[in-house]
Amino acid sequence: MAATGRTRVSLTVNGVAREHDVEPRLLLVHYLRDTLGLTGTHVGCDTSQCGACTVHLDGRAVKSCTVLAASASGSTVTTIEGLRPHGQFHPLQEAFWQEHGLQCGFCTPGMIMTGVGFLRDNPTATAEEIREGLDGNLCRCTGYHNIVRAVQAVVFQMAHTTEMPAMEPGDVIPPESLPGGILSSPTGAEIKVPGSKPR
């Protein structure tokens, strides 16, 4: 049944103080999308599996479909729109662009918000750790290949202050030269073949 009362929420979203009377059951994601018009945060499921709604709540990546707007009152929220001032990119956004880490773009805001949080805690993550770190975010377009590459690229940059070499068709490491031998897939990071850089 409908909850009849309204509850007052006040929070800081992308650096701006916001205050509204909302239904107590209103989810943070719907508050962001419908009340504030911040539609970059998406809804892909009802069961907290897809991660398209990921935002930062007091600096931590959370699924905003699983947080009531009322419980977020008093907190600071950053959405994809507020990750960087308009016209500028976070290094992970730049890496997603460079590595083709997105296709339809629907999961992308959630992926990036999760990735930014993950990189803060795991700045030297391996490919396997990155895949584990993205466990709460689904992408149906990319097979994750280029998403993991994008996160790796930022790890690589933080270590080398250069861009990770491109991984293109034919840039194949002889598997017997890999640590895992013939049974292991290249992990991207050890690609040393000079590749053409996108313009």
Partner 1 sequence: MATTTTPATGDERTTRADATDSVERVLGARMRRKEDPRFLTGRGIYTDDVQVAGTLHATFVRSPHAHARIRSIDLDAARSHPGVVAVYTGKDLADGGVNGIPVGWLLPGLKPSNHHAIAFEKVHYVGEAVAVIVGESASAARDAAGLVTVDYEPLPAVADAEQALAAGAPIVRDDGSDNVCFRWQIGDAAATDAALAGAAIVVRQRLVNQRLIPVAIEPRASLATYTRATDELTLWVTSQNPHVHRLIMGAFVLGLPEHRFRVISPDVGGGFGSKIFVYPEEVAVAWLARTLERPVKWTAERNESFMTDSHGRDHISDAEMAFDANGRIVGLRVRTVANLGAHLSLFAPAIPTYLYGTLLSGQYRIPAIHADVTGVFTHTTPVDAYRGAGRPEACYLIERMVDLGARQLGVDPADLRRRNFIPADQFPYQTPVALQYDSGNYEPALDRALAMLNYHGFRAEQQRLRTQGRYVGVGLSCYIEACGLAPSQVVGQLGAQAGLYESANVRVHPTGKVSVYTGSHQQGQGHETTFAQIVADRLGTSIDDVEIVHGDTGRVQFGMGTYGSRSGSVGGTAIVKSLDKIVDKSKRIAAHMLEAAPEDIELTSGRFHVRGSPDRSKGLADVSLAAYLAHSMPAGMEPGLEATSFFDPPNFTYPFGTHIAMVEVDADTGQVTLLRYIAVDDVGNVINPMIVDGQLHGGIAQGVAQALWESAEFDENAQLLTASLMNYGVPKARQLPFFELDRTVTPSPVNPLGIKGVGEAGAIASPPAVVNAVMDALSPFGIAHLDMPLTAPKVWRAMQAARANGNTSGGTTTATTGR
Complex with partner 1: residue 74 or 105, whichever CB lies closer: 105
Residues that contact partner 1, how many (by CB under 8 A): 80
Give the count of alpha carbons within 13 A of 91, CB side only: 17
**Footprint of partner 1 on 89-108 (CB under 8 A):** 89, 93, 96-98, 100, 102-108
**Footprint of partner 1 on 10-49 (CB under 8 A):** 23, 25, 33-34, 37-47, 49
- Provide CB contacts within 8 A for 158, sequence distance 6+: 119, 123, 124
Q: Residue 36 Cβ, how far from partner 1 at the closest point, in Å?
A: 11
What is the C-alpha to C-alpha distance for residues 41 and 191, in angstroms, rounded to an integer?
Answer: 34
Decide: helix, strand or coil at residue 73: coil
Q: Is 163 in the site for partner 1 (CB under 8 A)?
A: no
- The binder of partner 1 chosen from 63, 70, 155, 188 (CB under 8 A): 188
Complex with partner 1: residue 41 or 74, whichever CB lies closer: 41
What is the C-alpha to C-alpha distance for residues 39 and 53, in angstroms, rounded to an integer?
Answer: 10
Q: Is 139 in the site for partner 1 (CB under 8 A)?
A: yes
Q: Is 122 in the site for partner 1 (CB under 8 A)?
A: no
Q: Residue 8 Cβ, how far from partner 1 at the closest point, in Å?
A: 18
Q: Is 158 in the site for partner 1 (CB under 8 A)?
A: no
Q: Residue 17 Cβ, how far from partner 1 at the closest point, in Å?
A: 20
| DSSP states along 156-176 | HHHHHSSPPPP--TT----GG
What is the C-alpha to C-alpha distance for residues 11 and 15, in angstroms, rounded to an integer?
Answer: 9
Binding mask 59-88 for partner 1 (x = CB under 8 A): --------------------xxx-xx-x--
